[in-house]
Amino acid sequence: MAKASFWDKPKKDALDILGDKGKVPELPDNVDKSATDWDQAEDAARKVVADLLDKMLAMENANDACRNALKQFANKIDKDNLGLDPKSKDDAAKLAKARKILSDSLDTMLRGLDQNDKSVDESNKLLAQLAKRLE
């Protein structure tokens, strides 16, 4: 956003109306300086948003990898005898209780990872809107 890009034409048009005696002041230097500062800050913001989007993608990928690993582990727990004999009535009851405790804990972790995914998705939507505004 430089002076010439937005002030020269309105100034010329106004002078055409005012005639030879008319005077239109030049834009103050601080306006041009502020415009330059804006451009620099906007460029820096674009870079930060792009970097943040990359980091959010890395978070999403790490979260997905963790969720997949936990799902595989949960399947293993469901099938593992946990050192007991499932054919024994006493051991079968212990296995059921222990698996329930372990399964509930893994389910809680998976719900937390699902919530992470929702948070990252919401953040990505906001960042995409911000990136679009900075175009």
Find, among 21, 40, 52, the residue nearest to 124 by Cα. Answer: 52
Q: Which pTM value belongs to this model?
A: 0.71
What pLDDT score was predicted for residue 27? 87
Token look-up 């005012």 returns 18
| Tens of pLDDT, residues 95-107 | 999 999 999 999 9
Sequence-ordered strand ranges (E) for 5-95: none
| Tens of pLDDT, residues 1-51 | 444 578 899 999 999 999 999 999 998 889 888 988 999 999 999 999 999
Give the C-alpha distances (Å, rounded to integers) separating 46 from 5, 13, 135: 22, 35, 8
